[in-house]
Structure 1
Amino acid sequence: MNIETKDVLGMWKEYTLTNDLGMSVSVLDYGGIITKIIVPDRNGNRENVVLGYKNYQDYNQNSNYFGALIGRVGGRIQGASFELGNKTYNLAANNGNNHLHGGPEGFHQVIWEVAPFLTEEAVGLSLTHKSMDGEGGYPGNIDVTVTYTLTNENELDLNYLASSDQTSPITLTNHTYFNLSGSLKNTVHEHRVAIDSSKFVELDKELIPTGNLIHVEGTPFDFRDDRLLGDGFNDDTEQNKIAGNGYDHYFILDHISDTQVTVQEPASGRVMTLKTTQPGLVLYTANGLAEDLNLAGGLSRKYLGVCFETQASPASLHHEGFPSVILQAGEKYSEQTVFTFSSK
């Protein structure tokens, strides 16, 4: 187990966590961005399985949110406003008429305070940030701690803690794009994915939840038994077409299975499982990814990665029946998501 640190562009630090099995995770203090995750395939070949820029300066304009911590609220807030306690709060409209991923002052663009730690069983980073009352239009002074822990079982544990002195919306997530083929060899068409979910959220043409929940039965959104991601890329289902011929949808998790997500990439043999305390997740298959970004491993292209954004639902600010994003003043926000890597 060890931690390496290097200066980046004279203004950021990158921390690389390595366990005894040779798995490593690299993280910037800027945005808490996961820049690389190196894991072996079935033959022991270690390769990067996430999307990140080749040139670090490109993270300054990280409009795809590669690897970033997202907050205060992950996802889209309809009309860039919400009502709370008989008061209307107006946010930055940075996605058409809507507010996306905390806006331009979101957590993906702050430099976090980082405290590395090392034990016999794990190596990790504790990232802290204080978001001031009114920042981005949100109420309350919020103290946030996100801990990245890498274990000798090839687990990457993301632990989110927060508290606020005012009642305020918060739901934190990480926006890493995974590609288990390694070194961006293929798109994610052939990734087999299972999700412990029987309902997903219907979207309108602006990718805003309509308030309706759709049962997955008989649709390309039924991942209760594993299926190819590519099934939804060329399907005529209206919800796939709205999302740019793919997925950009919130799934309500049933929490029936021991793991909420399993991803398998047959060519490499890599397997990733996801366990989370969160009530749901956004499945995003890089439908809007441009074709000219210079990434570590090659140029970007559509469907080059898949995100599993575990979180509550910002649709709860405008509709009943969705997992709430409201944190009461003085209460603790505590959530966990664990990614485990293996091969077969």
Structure 2
Amino acid sequence: MRKVGSDGVVLALVAAASTALTAGTASAAEVQRSAAGTLKDGTAVEAITLVGANGVSARVLTYGATLQSLIAPDRDGNKADVVLGYDDLADYVDHPNYFGVTVGRYANRIAGGTFTLDGKKFQLPLNEAANSLHGGGKGFDKQVWRVVSVKNGPVASVVLAHRSPDGDSGYPGQFDVTVTYSLDDKGSLTIAFEGKTSKTTIVNMTNHAIFNLAGEGSPMGATGHRLTVPAATYTPVDAKLIPTGERRPVAGTVFDFRSPRVVADGIRDGHDQQIRYGQGYDHNFALDKGLTAKPELAARLEDPQSGRVLEVLTTEPGVQFYTGNFLDGTYLGKKGHLYRMGDGIALEPQKFPDAPNHPDFVSARVDPGKPYRHVMIYRLSTTR
């Protein structure tokens, strides 16, 4: 791994470009690079901060290609960090909880950690009871990614790369992947995942940011937010949180977010077995738009108190809605905040959970010569 500061020419060019842009073009987005610490083996970790002219900024760690912070102004211009996480690198390493990380190779759950491709069965590590979750425990969120490039201008960006070898955590094929974070001056953070495989494999990547639009650690949590999800059906789960294969209509249930609905209205409705299984919401919604070539709306989240609005767009056919049900006060987050159930909301665009074991779900198969691609957007704005 390249150590921070070892490429002095690159860092100098970035600094010079950033200075020139600040002096000559106030509206241009900027990139800032800094050291974020080192791992126990001495590997250096960088932080790359993308700064937009409208007050939105995003800080990305090379460890896990992690969105460590996302700062946005409220309706009165007051800024706050709207994603849960940690202040220090050591906490991401020692107390992993997927805060803002890049998830892969396969986001969400695979039943029994097994799947079959072309008649051959593959076994993944089990890291959630009988399931393989988010890559099996040593996924992309626990790797140090390489900085390929950074760019200032109307859109500030950083490209990160990682090579997952053939057989990594049981997945077939060498998978070479990049994650590009891009921030414009209108408050849109685009995250693009692209990869190529040497053998047929399965891929399902997303970002696992957990949002509180009132500001992470705010005492009222995030369950007072209003959520809209343009999905007429969702995929119910069994007691192990694995999809049953059914696509169930949301109409008449606490899963109907086709019109704005306060999250708290259904999060503790024990009349619905699905809420009891998830201990709240932890479910995939089958988006009406399906799989698309360009990102389209997957969810809209609004905090009435601050006026902040988050729109999530994606090319993928599903979005996992998770209400932080396993946050139990043992996680000491940013600024010493104790995170508890409902303190944040994740909206994770993706293929459906356990898709490799459900032929009628959109396939997660990736073949040589046919690159993987997922583009998602976090679009921030305010409303009165």
The normalised TM-score by structure 2 is: 0.87
Please tell me whether residue 300 in structure 1 is matched to residue 339 in structure 2: yes
Q: Does 1:317 align with 2:356?
A: yes
Matched, 1:213 2:247: yes
Q: Distance in 2 between matches of 1:293 and 1:31?
A: 19
- Residue 276 of structure 1 corresponds to which residue in structure 2? 314
Q: Provide closer, same or farther for how the CA distance between residues 258 and 277 of structure 1 changes in structure 2, counting only shifts above 3 A.
A: closer
CA distance in 1, matches of 2:194, 2:70: 23
Q: 1:290: how far off?
A: 2.2
1:242 alignment partner, SS class: helix
Q: Secondary structure at the match of 2:232?
A: strand
Aligned twin of 2:236: 202
Distance (whole Å) between structure 2 residues aligned to residue 275 and residue 104 of structure 1: 27
Structure 1 distance, partners of 2:60, 2:102, is: 11
Aligned position for 2:163 = 130
Q: Which residue of 1 aligns with 2:297?
A: 259
Tell me whether 1:79 sits opposite 2:119 in the alignment.
no
Give 2:278's aligned amino acid: A
Are the counterparts in 2 of residues 51 and 176 from structure 1 also a CA contact under 8 Å? yes
- Give the conservation status (yes or no) of the 8 Å contact 2:31–2:152: no
Report the AA paired with residue 323 of structure 2: T
Q: How does 1:89-108 map to 2 (within 5 A)?
A: 89-108=122-141
Question: Could you tell me which amino acid in structure 2 is paired with residue 259 of structure 1?
Answer: L
CA shift at 1:258, angstroms? 5.6
Aligned equivalent of 2:272:
237
8 A Cα contact 1:70 1:173, kept in partner = yes
CA contact (8 A) 2:72 2:82 kept: yes
Aligned to 2:209: 176
C-alpha distance in 2 between matches for 1:327 and 1:61: 32
Provide closer, same or farther for how the CA distance between residues 258 and 55 of structure 1 changes in structure 2, counting only shifts above 3 A: closer
Could you tell me which runs of 5 or more consecutive residues in structure 1 were left unpaired when the two chains were aligned.
none
Provide the secondary structure at the position in 1 that maps to 2:316.
coil
Amino acid at match of 1:192: R
Label 1:192 to 1:325 Cα distance change in 2 as closer, same or farther (>3 A): same
- Partner of residue 9, structure 1: 37
- Counterpart amino acid of residue 224 in structure 2: E
Normalization by structure 1: what TM-score?
Answer: 0.96
Structure 1 position 182, deviation (Å) = 1.4
Give the conservation status (yes or no) of the 8 Å contact 1:211–1:315: no
Q: How many angstroms apart in 2 are the aligned matches of 1:264 and 1:300?
A: 20
Deviation at 1:160, TM superposition (A): 1.1
1:334 aligns with 2:373: yes
Give the whole-Å Cα distance in 2 for the aligned partners of 1:118 and 1:164. Answer: 27
Q: Residue by residue, what CA displacement relative to the aligned partner does 1:188-227 show, whole Å, maximum 9, x if unpaired? A: 1111000011111111111111111111010111111010
Cα deviation, residue 293, structure 1: 1.5
* Structure-1 residue corresponding to 2:224: 190
Determine helix, strand or coil for the equivalent of 2:312: strand
User: What secondary structure, in the 3-state scheme, does the structure 2 residue paired with 1:300 have?
Assistant: strand
Three-state SS of the structure 2 residue aligned to 1:190 is coil
Measured in 2, the distance between the counterparts of 1:259 and 1:88 equals 35
What code does the residue aligned with 2:212 have? N
Per-residue CA deviations over 1:263-316 (Å, capped at 9, x if unaligned) read 110000001111111111111110111202111141111111111111112422
Give the deviation of 1:116 after TM superposition: 4.0
CA distance in 2, matches of 1:302, 1:2: 35
Task: Show structure 2 runs of 5+ residues with no match.
Answer: 1-28, 39-43
What code does the residue aligned with 1:240 have? I
1:249 corresponds in structure 2 to: 283
> 1:43-95 deviations in whole A, cap 9, x for unaligned?
10001000011333110034320000000000111011111111111110111
- The residue aligned with 2:176 is 143
2:360 partner amino acid: G
Task: Name the SS of the counterpart of 1:58 in structure 2.
Answer: helix
Give the 3 Å change call, closer, same or farther, for CA 258–84 of structure 1 in structure 2: closer
Q: Secondary structure at the match of 2:297?
A: coil
Alpha-carbon distance in 2 for matches of 1:193, 1:36: 22
Runs of 4+ residues deviating >4 angstroms:
none
Aligned to 2:12: none
